[in-house]
Amino acid sequence: MTSEGESLVPETPPEPPVAVEPGETRFLKWLVFGNEGVRAGWSVALFLVIFLVTSGILQLILLLAVAKPLHIDLQAFTPSSALLLEVAQLLPILAAALVCALIEHRSILDYNLRGEHRLRHFCTGLVGGMAALSVLIAALRAGGWLHFGAASLSGAQIVEYGALWGLAFLLTGFTEEGSVRCYLLFTLTRGVNYWWALGTVSTLSLFAWLNGHGNGSMGVYAMAALGVLPCLVLELKKSPSASFWQASWLTSTLFGYIHTFNAGESSIGIFSASWIGFVFCASIRLTGSAWWAIGFHAAWDWAQTFFYGTADSGLIPTGHFLSTSPAGPALWSGASAGPEGSLLVIPVVLLVLILLVAIYGRRIRTESASSPAQAQLS
């Protein structure tokens, strides 16, 4: 029974009040998180802090526990010193990448280490690096800018030093490509725009100018200037690939800037380091991963340091097979910077880029045909 005026429909309980986040909390979330999780800038900053701190600690440990007891001079460019220094960089890079991958809910392989035919690309990169450096050496010799002397090693020493340098430069490939073309390129691609890239390369150029102990800073300025207009055009066109090429411009300029701290470097040598770095970025776009670049990088360094016995980015090696010496103007010979300091390195690396596009460009064309929004080169 109900009394007069009572409704037969039960009353709906009031909804609980919706919690409203304070404005400060919403702002902090916006500041730290974007559409793809943690913003790229914070990820890069965290990566660099972890790398720098752990690398400094590990280098000190290796110096005290390994280098001093075994009388290894870390200032000399030998297989032993190179191996220790590469280990002191590779392990912190792996640690930093693993921490960032955990925070970003990714696999470490997501940082440009996936893709098909990884072993094949790595092996073709090895062949390409040896072949490209040999073409450069042949051109220098033909022009009279490089002279060959007697072999420095014989017998078992060739195998021993060849293997040690091979291991050292394999670690170099993983270290430099893993940090710059794997983690940084991948992360910056998802978060950089033209104005951030322009500001960063301008800052790197300023640092190069202010660093009185740097070598070849003009190479940094040249790479920074080279990307201004192409990247601006991609930005204005709203190209789907704009962020990738802007990140490539930024990381390639950074790669050149890092090399200015090598003694004996030159402006052409620094520009060629940036130029080769850009080609490595393009190889990731073309092959789908950094494995070709890792192989090419390792073989290029091994060929010039051990096999031909030339300077490598201004560093003079100990324990090389052949003996060579630069001759003539530094513009052509490379002088103390080595073959990478010769003007001839630019067309040789351009040839490598052309061959990359010719061989692997089919992948881009196939993806573009299946999905026009994907993998455009421009």
The verdict on residue 78 lying in a domain is: no
The verdict on residue 142 lying in a domain is: yes
CB neighbours (10 Å) of residue 65? 10
pLDDT tens for the chain, residues 1 to 378: 445 555 555 566 666 665 555 666 665 655 566 666 678 889 999 999 999 999 999 999 999 999 999 889 988 999 999 999 999 999 999 999 999 999 999 999 999 999 889 999 999 999 999 999 999 999 999 999 999 999 999 889 999 999 999 999 999 999 999 999 999 999 999 989 999 999 999 999 999 999 877 789 999 999 999 999 999 999 999 999 999 999 999 999 999 999 999 888 999 999 999 999 999 999 999 999 999 999 999 999 999 999 999 999 888 999 999 999 999 999 999 998 999 999 999 999 999 999 999 999 876 656 555 544 444 333
Structure tokens at 215: 């070598």
DSSP state of 177: I
The verdict on residue 16 lying in a domain is: no
CA distances 308 to 120, 301, 323, 325, 347, Å, are 26, 10, 6, 10, 20
| Contact by Cβ (8 Å): 210, 196 | no
Structure tokens at 266: 């030159």
DSSP 42-98: HHHHHHHHHHHHHHHHHHHHHIIIIITTTT--TTSB-HHHHHHHHHHHHHHHHHHHH
Give the separation between CA 282 and CA 179, rounded to whole angstroms.
Answer: 16
The verdict on residue 75 lying in a domain is: no
- The domain of 199 spans 116-370
pLDDT at 1: 47
Closest by CA to 128, choosing from 240, 294, 305, is 294
For the chain, give the number of residues: 378
The verdict on residue 273 lying in a domain is: yes
pLDDT at 314: 86
The verdict on residue 65 lying in a domain is: no
Count the domains in the chain: 1
Compute φ and ψ for 123, nearest 5 degrees: -70, -40
* The overall pTM is greater than 0.75: yes
The verdict on residue 88 lying in a domain is: no
The verdict on residue 57 lying in a domain is: no
